[in-house]
Each structure stands twice: as structure tokens, then as C-alpha cells.
Structure 1
Amino acid sequence: MTLIVWVLLTMLSVAVMLIALAAYGTARWAGKTRGLLARLESFRVPAPSTTLRYNALEIEDLPAPVARYFRTVLKDGQRIITAASVEHAGSFNLSATDEKWKPFTSAQRVITRRPGFVWNAHIAMAPGIGVYIHDAYLNGEGILVPAILGLFTMKGNISAHDLAEAEFMRFFAEAAWYPTALLPSQGVRWQAVDANSASATLADGTISATMLVNFNQAGLIESVRFEARAATVGKMVVPTPWEGRWSDYQQCNGMLVPQSGEAAWLHSEGRKPYWRGSITALRYEF
């Protein structure tokens, strides 16, 4: 009987310790999140008074599928988005080779001038144990920090330049959520590819990104692709094709924006999705 009591007390002590660690980690992580968000806001640049609203005249010379997209998702006079707050729920594959999908929730803050975002995610690994992730692009700097319980960080070996470039690509790829950021007046250069696709290029300081954008028959963005985005393969960082797919478009503040998406690496052995999510809340600032 004494042994049973001792085992139970030990198990209770471990449980209490885990709960205390989790609570401390959550509070510590929240403080770091507030710091990142404050940095993001500090880099905001006021929009020129001449580009506060979308003017349909600016799309007249764009490739046909691009012009059709803007006519479909925007109305003439639409206010230009300056910031967005997005909440997601979905699943994340933690394995590069197997299927180990875990549920996640996240909150993301996006600023369109100067381009930047902070993604704060929580992946449920097991009851009471989770991984927190900060994924961000701030003032030309890329940030990727996963931490078990919000305390024990797992560092990667990606270079600062490759990380900044990869995070800027993410900002650009997700612009279907804040579609006025894709307008020529916001710095995007479009080039024709074929009847259903076009390439888009955006620069931020010394960093630039070009993505292939595919449009569906309804005129909406169906997928975006980068030919070389930094991916961690084992202990190496390898430039790898990347694809984002967007679906379930719905009206939001007079614009059509996708509510669901999927991100995948395009390896030589096949397509490997790792993120699937849906928007649970979306708020804009103009």
C-alpha cells in the first residue's frame, strides 16, 4: 500500500510540475509575442494620400487573368488595406517524411507597409504539452522560433538571409488574404505567362520575390508557387519549390478572400503538404 501511495504522489508531483511549467511557458511566450507585435507596429509606414483607394484604371494594362482577378475580388474605390488580423485553425505535419498531423491554432498580424507579419501559433503535441511557434518578417528580418511549452527553443541552421527571404515569400504568398497588397500601386509588378497564370514580383529593400500565380475559371487565385524557397532537409538547407493553394472564397469587407489554404513542398519524389488551415476570424484596417 505504501508503494502505491508513493507512486501516486510521484505522479501527482510530476503532473503539478508540468502544469506549472506550462503556465510559466505560456506567460513567458505571451510576453515575447507582445514584443514582436510592438516591433511590427513600429515599422509601419503611412500610405501616400494618392493610394488610399483602389482605382480600376490601374489594372487596364495588366495581363488578362490578373485584371480579371482584381475585377472579381475588388470594387472600384475599395479602400487599401493597411493591416490585417487573422486567426486560423487547422493541422500541421511535424514530419518531413511521414504523416504526423497535429492540430494547431494561431493568430497573425500583418502590416502591408512596410511589409511584415507576426504569426503566433500553438501546436498541440499531447495533452498538456504543446509547441509554440513565432514565424515573422520584421523590417527585412526573418524570424522562426519554435519552443516546446514556450520554454525550450529548437534552433535551425538556416542563414539570416535565407530566412528573411523565405519569410518575405510567405508574406507575398498570403496576399490573397489582403488582396489590395497585390495591386501595381502597392509595388507589385505583373508579367503575363498564359491565359490562366501570371508572375508577380515584389521587393522590400534588398529582398525580392517572384511567384507564379495560377487563376481558376472563376478568376480567383487558386495557387501560388515559388521555384526556390529555403527548406530544411535533415541538417541541410535546400532551395525547394513551394506551393500554396487557396480555396473557399467568401465576401469580407466588400472583397472576395479565401477562407482555407494548404502549403506544401514540391520535392522530386512528390508534393508534401505540411500546413492546412482555415480562417476563424479576419479583421482589416484601412
Structure 2
Amino acid sequence: MNWIGWTVFGIGGMVAVVAGLAAFGSSRWAGTTQVQMALLEAARVPAPAGMNKVYDARELDGLPTPVQRYFRAVLKDGQPFISAATFDFAGTFNMSATGEQWKNFTSTQRAVTRRPGFLWNGRVVMLPGLVAHVHDSYIAGEGRLHAAMLGLFTVAEVQGGGEIARGELMRYFAEAIWYPTALLPSQGVRWEAVDDSSAKATLEDGPITLTLLFRFDETGLITSVHADARGVGVGKDMVMLPWEGRVSSYQLHGGMMVPARSEAAYLRPEGRRPYFIGNLTSMVYEFSS
């Protein structure tokens, strides 16, 4: 065999090894996902006895005007309260904090409303045949981020309370736009008037209290969510930066209007830097019964 043959043979062997690792890693990651999903389900709590299980528009009385417009735009009277949602996204993710390294991703996320929690299971294509698997979650009051190349080799992992948990609960709260009955006052959210096109909302879970600014368009739909400070990793450190999520292209799912397109960005001193652009590809709801 000449050198060309040996080269082809070597490349073929490397491809086979990577493919084998990818298959093994995907299987192992699926098992880890099942464990995390079981923890999410175990942390759920029932609604208080006697609580209504459907939306009653009378609970909007006294809310800020743009908030009332929002709920009237996205919900119909009698809409069952959402207990869980499972939804898929596809889009691009910027892997660089300072440059432009956009990579394609697909993800499946499950969110539960009592106790607030979610598990995001993402698959980011770093190179052809080279995939990073990512878990991002808020479960039983703890935040967690775990990324592993091929599902085998950990490249990032943080878990715990404090700012980690706060940042993940913030994600749950901002993404309640996709499970909008969770934003109702009867579900524990307090709304405060700001002006004709924005309002502040506050959510508590355990020791964490969060307030986010929601902005609305003239039809009542939410267009953006803003946090004054959210933690982001810079090297080995975590720094606090303003954060913003933008949503658009509302569609009807489960009898409710929810956005089909979203973008997330940190507002850095040098300017706004988006890091996530996603499109909703499927949505399945579970309702209180």
C-alpha cells in the first residue's frame, strides 16, 4: 500500500472512531437527560386546594393597562392553566463573547410551572460530525449549566444557588411568554405600572425574588423582556450585565398566542451583543386537571 492508501486508511479510521464516540456519547447524554428530567418532575408541587384551574378575565381588574391588553390578546376567558410545556427550537448560537462564532443548534425544553423549573437540552454543531451537548436548567431552586463535547468531554459545568440559580430562574421567568398563564397574578406574579407600553413583573421562588421589565406593542403583545443585571461567564469569572430578550412572529398554540421567534442579548459596554437566535418548531402543553 502506498502513502496515499495509508492516508486514506488513516482518515477512514479516524472518522470511524469519531462516529463511534459520537454514538456512544449521544446514548450516554440521553441517560443523563433522563436523570435530570426525573429530578425536574420530582420537584413539582400540586396547586393549592381550591385554586381555579382556568383563567378568569376578572383577575385582570386593577392590573396596569398594557398588561391587561397583553392577557386579552393572548388568552381567552376559560383558558386552562398550563402545568407544563415541552417545546423545540432551532437556530444559531454565538459561541464567542467578543467575536462572531455562530453555530447551528436544535433543542428540546420542558418547563413546569409548579414549582417553577425547566430543563433545556441543546445540541450545538461545532463542526461537521462534532457536536456539543448542553443542559441548562433550574430545578428545585438550583441552577445548572453543563456542556460536553460529543456528550462525553465536559467543557463547562456550573451548578448551585446564588447568582447561578438567580440567572436560571430569570430565564424561566422571561420565557413564561411561551407558557403565558404562568404570568397571571393568580400564579404568583406581581405587576407594577411603568408607562403605557411597559410594566414590571416580580416573581418569587424560595429565597430568590426577581423583577423584569416587559415591553408591549400597540396590540398588547410582548416585544421584549429586560433585566438590569444577569450573570455571564467571562473566562473563569462571572460578571453582571444588563440582559434583553426580544420576541416576535406570534402564532396560535394551545389556544394561546405565543412568539415563534426569539433573540437574546447581553448589553455590554461596547454595545448590544446577541448570542441566541431561535425559531419555535413545536409546542406541546399540559394543563391543570
TM-score (norm 2): 0.96
How far, CA to CA, are the matches of 1:160 and 1:174 in structure 2?
20
Contact 1:158 1:237 in 2 (8 A): no
Q: CA deviation at 1:19?
A: 0.7
- Code of the residue aligned with 2:102 in structure 1: it is W
How far, CA to CA, are the matches of 2:206 and 2:13 in structure 1?
53
Deviates more, 1:111-120 or 1:6-15: 6-15
- Segments of 4+ moved more than 6 angstroms: none
Q: Secondary structure at the match of 1:154?
A: strand
Deviates more, 1:183-192 or 1:235-244: 235-244
How far, CA to CA, are the matches of 2:70 and 2:122 in structure 1?
30
How far, CA to CA, are the matches of 2:159 and 2:251 in structure 1?
37
Q: CA deviation at 1:157?
A: 6.5
Contact 2:147 2:157 in 1 (8 A): no
How far, CA to CA, are the matches of 2:151 and 2:158 in structure 1?
20
Which runs of 5 or more residues in structure 2 are unaligned? none
Q: CA deviation at 1:2?
A: 2.5
Q: Deviations over 1:204-229 (max 9, x none)?
A: 11112110000011100000011010
Q: What pairs up with 1:131-280 in 2 under 5 angstroms? A: 131-155=132-156, 160-280=161-281
Q: Secondary structure at the match of 1:21?
A: helix
Identity fraction in percent: 53
Q: Secondary structure at the match of 1:4?
A: helix
TM-score (norm 1): 0.97
Q: Is residue 32 of structure 2 the alignment partner of residue 25 of structure 1?
A: no
Q: CA deviation at 1:158?
A: 7.8
Contact 1:157 1:235 in 2 (8 A): no
How far, CA to CA, are the matches of 1:159 and 1:119 in structure 2?
17
Q: What pairs up with 1:14-53 in 2 under 5 angstroms? A: 14-48=14-48, 49-53=50-54
Give the paired residue count: 286
Q: Deviations over 1:172-210 (max 9, x none)?
A: 000110000000000000001111000000011111211
Partner of 2:9: 9
Which runs of 5 or more residues in structure 1 are unaligned? none
How far, CA to CA, are the matches of 1:162 and 1:191 in structure 2?
24
How far, CA to CA, are the matches of 1:157 and 1:198 in structure 2?
32
How far, CA to CA, are the matches of 1:284 and 1:35 in structure 2?
22
- Code of the residue aligned with 2:94 in structure 1: it is N
Supply the RMSD in Å over aligned alpha carbons: 1.2
Partner of 2:55: 54
- Code of the residue aligned with 1:46 in structure 2: it is P
- Code of the residue aligned with 1:128 in structure 2: it is G
Contact 2:144 2:157 in 1 (8 A): no
How far, CA to CA, are the matches of 1:81 and 1:248 in structure 2?
21
Contact 2:143 2:160 in 1 (8 A): no
Q: Secondary structure at the match of 2:51?
A: helix
Q: CA deviation at 1:92?
A: 0.4
Q: Deviations over 1:55-110 (max 9, x none)?
A: 11111100111111111111111100000000000000111111111110000011
Q: What pairs up with 1:58-77 in 2 under 5 angstroms? A: 58-77=59-78
Contact 1:83 1:112 in 2 (8 A): yes
